[in-house]
Amino acid sequence: MTETPTVQFLSVEGEFAPTESAEEYRSYLDRLSETDLQEFYRKMVVVRRFDGEATNLQRQGQMALWVPSHGQEGAQVGSAYAARPHDHLFPSYREHAVGLVRGIDMLAIVELLRGNTHGGWDPADPTNGNFHGYCLVIGSHSLHATGYAMGLQRDGLVGTGDPEVDAAVLCYFGDGATSQGDVSEAFVFSASSQTPNVFFLQNNQWAISVPVSVQSRVPLYLRSRGFGVPSVQIDGNDVLASYAVTAKALDDARGGGGPQFIEALTYRIGAHTTSDDPTKYRENAEQEFWVKRDPIVRFEKYLRSLGEGDAFFDGVKAEADDFAADIRARTLVLEAPPIGTMFDHVYSEPHPVMTEQKLWLERYESSFQEEQA
Amino acid sequence: MTTVNPSNPTTAAAAPEVQELPMAKALNLGLAKALADDPKVLLMGEDIGRLGGVFRVTEGLQAQFGADRVVDTPLAESGIIGTAIGLAMRGYRPVCEIQFDGFIWPGFDQITSQLAKLTNRGGGAFSMPVVIRVPYGGHIGAVEHHQESPEAYFAHTAGLRVVSPSTPNDAYWMMQEAIRSNDPVMFFEPKSRYWPKGPVDFTGSAAPLHASRVVRVGTDVTVLAHGAMVSVLMQAAEIADAEGISLEVIDLRSISPIDYGPIVDSVTKTGRLVVAQEASGFVSVGSEIAATVAERAFYSLQAPVLRVAGFDTPFPPAKLETVFLPDADRVMEAVDRVMAY
Ligand SMILES: Cc1ncc(C[n+]2csc(CCOP(=O)(O)OP(=O)(O)O)c2C)c(N)n1
Ligand SMILES: [Mg+2]
Q: Which CATH architecture has domain A20-332?
A: 3-Layer(aba) Sandwich (3.40)
Q: In what order do the strands lie in the sheet with B41-45?
A: B70-72, B41-45, B93-97, B131-136, B185-190, B161-163, B254-256
Given B74, B87, B159, which is nearest A347 (Cβ)?
A: B159
Class of domain B17-201: alpha beta
pLDDT tens across B96-111, in order?
999 999 999 999 999 9
Q: Given pLDDT bands bounded at 50, 70 and 90, which one contains residue B12?
A: very low
Topology (CATH level 3) of domain B213-339: Rossmann fold (3.40.50)
Q: Is A170 on the interface with B (CB under 8 A)?
A: no
**How long is chain A?**
373
> Over the stretch A41-97, which tens digit does the pLDDT of each residue have?
999 999 999 999 999 999 999 999 999 999 999 999 999 999 999 999 999 999 999
pLDDT at position B321: 97
Beta bridge pairs of residue A371: none
Residue B304 has pLDDT above 80, yes or no: yes
Contact A278, A271 (CB under 8 A): yes
B interface residues, A as partner, C-beta within 8 Å: 68, 73-74, 76, 78-79, 81-92, 106, 109-110, 113-114, 117-129, 158-159, 161, 181-183, 210, 257
Instruction: Identify the CA nearest to A75 among candidates A202, A198, A175.
Output: A202
User: Can you give the residue ranges of every domain in chain B?
Assistant: 17-201, 213-339
Catalytic residues of A: 268, 272, 281
Task: Output the DSSP codes for A269-299.
Answer: -S-SSTT--GGGT--HHHHHHHHTT-HHHHH
User: Which of A88, A134, A154 to mutate: most B Cβ within 10 Å?
Assistant: A154
| Interface probe with A: pick from B83, B130, B210, most Cβ of A within 10 Å | B83
pLDDT band at A5 (very low <50, low <70, confident <90, very high): confident
B225 contact partners, CB below 8 Å, separation of at least 6: B166, B232, B233, B250, B251, B252, B275, B276, B277
Which residues of chain B lie closer than 8 angstroms to A185, CB-CB? 74, 76, 78-79, 82
Give the pLDDT mean for B219-226.
Answer: 98
Q: Tell whether A149 lies on the interface with B, counting CB pairs under 8 A.
A: yes
ipTM attached to this prediction: 0.96
Q: Could you report the per-residue pLDDT of A201-254, keeping only the tens digit for each?
A: 999 999 999 999 999 999 999 999 999 999 999 999 999 999 999 999 999 999
Residues of chain B found within 8 Å of residue A123, distances taken between Cβ atoms: 89, 122, 125-126
Q: Where on the phi/psi map is residue B8: left (φ > 0), alpha (ψ -120 to 50), or beta?
A: beta
